[in-house]
Amino acid sequence: MRRPASIVLVASVSFSTILAAGTALSGEIRGRLLADDRPVSGVAAVAVPWETPFEEARREARRQAAPSPLASVTTGADGVFVLSVAGGVPAREFRVRLEGGGVVTAVVPGTFDTQETEDLGDLAVVKGARLAGRVETEQGTPLAGAEVLLVSSRGRGDGLEPSVQKTKSGPDGAFRFDFALPDRNEVSVRADGLWIQPLSNVRAGAIPSPMIARAAGSIVGTIRKSRQTPAAGVLVRFEALGKTRWVETGADGSFVLKEVPAGTGTLLADGGDAGFAEILGARASANPVTAYLTPGARLEGRVVNAVNGKPVPRAKVTALGPRGLLSTRSGADGRYLLRNFVPGRFQVRGDEPRYTPWEKSGVVVRAGEIRKLDLPLTPGVSISGTVIDENGAPVARAKGSLGPATQTGIRSFLRGLAGQEEAAFVSASNGAFRASRLRSGDNLRLTVNHPSYEAGALAGLKLLPGTVRSGLTVVLRQGMVLSGIVKDEKQEGVPGAE
């Protein structure tokens, strides 16, 4: 999932003030939040300390609270935020979470550190909808105090990653979330000694049937480094249709895993640098099990300039897998290393502010494997200019996208629907736009759309890697207004149709 191109609004006082101030003494992450192409105010941008998947799992096993935010700021009427995070040596890694303001909680892809400044540009957020349900026992008794988790599905289409929202069921077993997606929600419930089947692809509104808590089994056993050496501090959980909470092995390597559902699944043991273990076909039983740690997976390579092959230092390299986000940075020679992680399938991303992000999905790293993967980053293109109407008046909230000039008409339209047209900008109130980190090309077409105007375009643009093109003007002509009603086969109105 590629982060949207970076945009700086020429009209924004907060942006120009920051730029005029010179180098910041602390890390600064900037952006603008849009919902349905309109700025969203009142959304909190929160700097949350980044935890490795192992650190996060260990905190869960110990039932510890999440680390306190490093900083927070709220978007203004223009949807803009400038999140300042105090610097330090060494720099501290963090993620940016977006919450409140009526939008679905989400996380900006990748990590940042307290010594960097980055412009995220326009970020599309989604207005939240209410989702409610109930938790009951098999006897129909309300289950109070259960922990309920809501995750908005990946593949949201807005360039952001899901973030877990949590709440507790009330005395009547009821729970409610106010900021769910319209659909593709995942709901799971945790309660001591009980198992509740998680729900996927849940639509907003009321869940029609209660979620039933059933008696669960347990798995007891030992994790060892060798026959003579127990493995202390290893994190263990059971994975099937859902996942149990993590537990931590004691000094003798022993563990007791509760809340295990009926049926078979995978018993996973994550020892961090010590390695990992898996038992396939595991099930709840009174018979103890023993698993031995084996070396974890490893991913390494170089981050290079795709044009000249030179190393790109301090590029962020992340690998998003089924158990969380791995992150590191390339060294002065462009080399990076991610080591001792649980194997699986990953989405690998390379990112540096002067380059267009590089991404590769479906990267499989197997147990004990040293997978080599180089990341070629292409210098980004920057453009700026103004969108005006035929009378020379500025046009606000016009959407610009960049794509090959060889395809126009219906082919260009279909490319846009398929996400092959690169979103570039939404013009400010004075019609100004600026976009950076765009993909290069020698025959590109900048297309600008607005609901009240005919589409405008600049074709034949030659934008080589690293090009900065300013002074562009796109003229939009007043379009004909067409109105009507979209109905289904029952002649009922269909809201939200595009």
Same domain, 396 and 441: yes
Each residue's pLDDT, cut to its tens digit, for the chain (498 residues) gives 334 443 333 333 333 333 333 444 578 999 999 998 889 999 999 999 999 889 999 999 999 999 999 999 999 999 999 999 987 767 789 999 999 999 999 999 889 988 888 888 889 999 999 999 999 999 999 999 999 999 987 544 557 888 999 999 999 999 999 999 998 899 999 999 999 999 999 999 999 999 999 999 999 999 999 999 999 999 999 999 889 999 999 999 999 999 999 999 999 999 998 999 999 999 999 899 999 999 989 999 999 999 999 999 999 999 998 888 899 999 999 999 998 888 999 999 999 988 999 999 999 999 889 999 999 999 999 999 999 999 999 999 899 998 888 755 555 555 544 445 566 788 888 999 988 888 899 899 999 999 889 999 999 999 999 889 999 999 999 876 677 888 888 888 887 777
Q: Judge whether 94 lies within some domain.
A: yes
- Based on the fold, state whether residues 288 and 303 are members of the same structural domain: no
Question: Quick one: DSSP state of residue 60?
Answer: H
Domain boundary among 336, 358, 378: 378
Looking at the domain assignment, is residue 490 inside a domain? no
**CATH code of residue 238:** 2.60.40.10
Task: Judge whether 498 lies within some domain.
Answer: no
Confidence at residue 158, expressed as pLDDT on a 0 to 100 scale: 59
Spell out the residues 6+ positions from residue 267 whose beta carbon is closer than 8 angstroms to its own: 219, 221, 236, 237, 238, 257, 278, 279, 282, 289, 291
Residue 155 and residue 182 in one domain: yes
pLDDT at 462: 92
Question: What sections of 134-209 are H helices per DSSP?
Answer: none
Same domain for 197 and 160: yes
Residue 115: inside a domain? yes
Q: What is the DSSP string of 69-112?
A: PSEEEE--TT-EEEEEE---SS--EEEEEEE-TTB--EE-SS-E
* Backbone dihedral region for residue 79 (phi beyond 0: left; psi -120 to 50: alpha; all else: beta): left
* pLDDT for 115: 83
User: Which two three-digit tokens encode residue 25?
Assistant: 């003494």
Asked whether residue 409 falls in the same domain as residue 302, the answer is: no
Residue 237 — φ and ψ, nearest 5°? -155, 165
- 97 and 86 share one domain: yes
- CA-based Rg of the chain, rounded to a whole angstrom? 25
1 assigned to some structural domain: no
Asked if 11 and 118 sit in the same domain, the reply is yes
pLDDT of residue 6: 38
Query: Do 110 and 13 lie in a common domain?
Result: yes
370 with 417, same domain? no
Q: Are residues 15 and 114 in the same domain?
A: yes
Final residue before a domain boundary, out of 292, 322, 344? 292
What pLDDT, on a 0 to 100 scale, did the predictor assign at position 418? Answer: 45
Domain span at residue 472 reads 381-476
Examine residue 98 and state whether it is found in any structural domain, yes or no: yes
Say which residue the tokens 């000694």 belong to. Answer: 193
Assign residue 304 the CATH number of its domain: 2.60.40.1120
| Number of folded domains that form the chain | 5
Q: How many CB atoms lie within 10 A of CB 1?
A: 17
Same domain for 77 and 99?
yes
pLDDT at 18 (0 to 100): 34
Looking at the fold, whether 20 and 112 belong to one and the same domain comes out as yes
* Helix, strand, coil % over all residues of the chain, rounded to 5: 5, 50, 40
**487 occurs within a structural domain:** no
The pLDDT assigned to 17 comes to: 33
Q: Among the three residues 172, 187, 215, which one is the final residue of a domain in this structure?
A: 215
What is the reported pLDDT for 409?
A: 53
Would 172 be classed as within a structural domain?
yes
